Amino acid sequence: MEWLEVKITVEAEAAEAVAEVLSRYAPQGVAVDLGAASAVEQVTVRAYLACDETLAGRQRQVEEGLWHLSQIWPMPAPVFTAVPEEDWTAAWRETLSVLHLGRRIVIKPSWRTYAPAPARPDEVILELDPGQAFGTGLHPTTQLCVEALERLVQPGMRVLDLGTGTGILALAAAKLVSPVEVLAVDNDPNAIAVARRNLRMNDASAVVRLLHGSLGDVSGTYDLILANILAPVIIEMAQHGLGARLRTGGRLIASGILAEQQDEVVAALRQNGLELLETQQRGDWVALIAERARLA
């Protein structure tokens, strides 16, 4: 059987959205080629479609999905190339590179070999394989969250990861310090299945507990909450008890926020007992670090 390779080069912050579109029609997985640059700006996203009786329909759906996405992020048209059966798996795997996030986190495909440099013995290596959309570490919001997490997570903390996706932030928290207790929550059963697989792959199932649900299903208080979602969702959470899930003095890392949405999110947090401590920005995206106000 031949395979049809779909290839498109886009800005790094659009890569996960492109991967999500392609993954709907390429169940074998989506590969993101970071190239050799350490500061990733342009990346190539590839997927492979089986050349069977459904190919024409799936190719049309890919073109339509990417066209709609191009109305948000300008991008070129995808390139389609026929690839022989014996070549597609090797070509797909070869495109996947090791990715560095923050100061210590390294994202490694399971078949790649990687050893920390002698000057960086404290690196934390996470194995994440392709075929997973949001939460691979390419998007600026994930990068901002990892950088804040590295600074804020401490041994003995209880950490809540809301909208865990692939589980990348929960895994990072579990591996950066010990002991730590992590609850990872998502309302998408597919995300929970992916996160569970990643926890097993990284021997973190005993540290991270998964919950299929939302904020309303969470009880207790936490020292650190991670919410890498979207601004409207963070605002809604703030209005429905997000602050109550933080202990007094606990910290919230909130991202997935466009710079133009920052003031509205900050206002919602303040109205619900959370005070802004810090803002970090990368491109059009910001991450907010807030604290549950201490009692006077």
How far apart (Å, rounded) are the C-alpha atoms in residues 32 and 26? 14
State yes or no: pLDDT of 133 exceeds 80: no
Judge whether residue 132 has pLDDT over 50: no
Query: What is the average pLDDT across 80-109?
Result: 76
Reported pTM: 0.76
pLDDT at 92 over 80: no
* Location of each CATH 3.30.70.120 domain in the chain: 3-96
Range list for CATH 3.40.50.150 in the chain: 133-292
CATH domain 133-292 topology = Rossmann fold (3.40.50)
pLDDT (0 to 100) of residue 174: 97
Q: What is the pLDDT of residue 199?
A: 95
Looking at residue 38, its pLDDT comes to 44
pLDDT for the residue 118: 84
pLDDT of res. 134: 46
Who has greater pLDDT, 29 or 114?
114
Query: Do 144 and 255 contact (CB within 8 A), yes or no?
Result: yes
Helices and strands in the chain: count of H runs, count of E runs: 8, 14
Q: Residues with Cβ < 8 Å from 113, sequence gap 6 or more?
A: none
Does residue 5 register a pLDDT over 70? yes
Confidence bin at 110 (pLDDT 50/70/90): confident
Is residue 194's pLDDT more than 90?
Answer: no
Rounded mean pLDDT of 172-189? 95
The helix or strand, by DSSP H or E, that contains position 66, with its residue range, turns out to be: helix 55-70
pLDDT at 154: 96
Q: With 50 as the cut, is the pLDDT of residue 190 above it?
A: yes
Length, in residues, of the chain: 296
Predicted pLDDT at 51: 85
Q: Has domain 3-96 been given CATH number 3.30.70.120?
A: yes
Mean pLDDT of the chain: 86
Q: Is the pLDDT of residue 37 over 50?
A: no
In this prediction, residue 144 carries a pLDDT of 92
Band (pLDDT 50/70/90 cuts) for residue 27 is: low
CA distance 258 to 221: 28
Give residue 21's identity as a one-letter amino acid code.
V
